[in-house]
Amino acid sequence: MPQDVDFHIPLPSRQSPDHARADAEQLIWPRSLGLIKSEAAAERHLRGGYADLASRFYPHATGADLDLGVDLMSWFFLFDDLFDGPRGEDPEAAKQLTDAVAAALDGPLPPSAPPIAHGFADIWRRCCDEMSPSWCTRSARHWRNYFDGYVDEARSRFRDKPYDSAAEYLAMRRHTIGVQPTVDLAERAGRFEVPQRVFDSAVLGAMLQIAVDVNLMLNDIASLEKEEARGELNNMVMILRREHGWSKGRSIAHLQDEVQARLEQFLLLESCLPQVGEIYGLDASEREALERYRTDAVRTVIRGSYDWHRSSGRYDTEFALAAGSQGYLEELGSSAR
């Protein structure tokens, strides 16, 4: 996050007490699966600060539960890097890879699947451990939406037709930002579940969409310089400039205002959650799960994202150029395990 672009996030900053250990051990999992093979790749990965991000998203988690969060964050960004090169401009190639990864949601993968797919399969297996079938179904649906978003984004680049409106871009980006699967994991990391029927609540739905939108706006501002250097055109700041003829500064200021408006609405929606519990007839344990979802899932994905964006080296221009190298992309996406 550029230091001159500030946001006032009215939520407390939190971090797992186990973050130092998790940070020291974060390379064990990706190395064991062949997702990181060289010292250069390891150094690049560490600069991203993904263990720090997980410890902020899941401040209530320690030990193996936090490790799962760290591995998910590592996987997210290793996967995302695969679309910085030619694959991200070819919808067929994008779909080939996303299909190979998404197959893990349906059963065991063939040995020939790429390392990034086997990494996801391992995470998915651990995510579903001790969680209910309804949670697994809900999370799988969110994952499928996430993968589909990458194909939609590649289709836009292939047609050389960047998104012309913020609304159209938001519809796609809400999937590829990956917030919903991240929030789902908070339940798994905390060993609690929100009753499925509560997700029909308009209040909870609006809170989740705010969390998604704030994340993607923060991310687009943080990644703006990197994406400008790479020639990317699908960024909220760039789209606002095309759509309204605004300067870069005005477009960023508009996003700052949008974030603040959404957060004010978020705080108002939070105050309605006790009534949601009454409407859906939640018992004491179910109300506790809903409260934990508010404090340990939705709030932390907003504040944790902000804190991480301000410290991560992922959005340095030289980081982006290194991650986009073809050798790095092929190492992750095409080699057999």
Q: Annotated catalytic sites, by residue? A: 76-77, 80, 84, 157, 173, 219, 223, 226-227, 230, 308-309
Calculate the alpha carbon distances from 129 to 122, 125, 133, 192, 213 in Å. Answer: 11, 7, 10, 12, 29
- Distance between CA atoms of 332 and 97, rounded to whole angstroms? 11
Asked if residues 235 and 220 have their Cβ atoms less than 8 Å apart, the reply is yes
Contacts for 265 with CB less than 8 Å, ≥ 6 apart: 206, 210
Q: How far is CA 274 from CA 203, 206, 251, 270, 279, in A?
A: 11, 15, 37, 9, 9
Both tokens assigned to 287: 């109300």
Q: Which two tokens stand for residue 254?
A: 């508009």
Distances (CA, A) of 71 to 78, 80, 86: 10, 14, 26
Contact (CB, 8 A) for 186 and 296: yes
199 near 138, Cβ under 8 Å? yes
Q: Residue 201 and residue 180: Cα distance in Å, rounded?
A: 16
Under 8 Å between Cβ of 19 and 51: yes
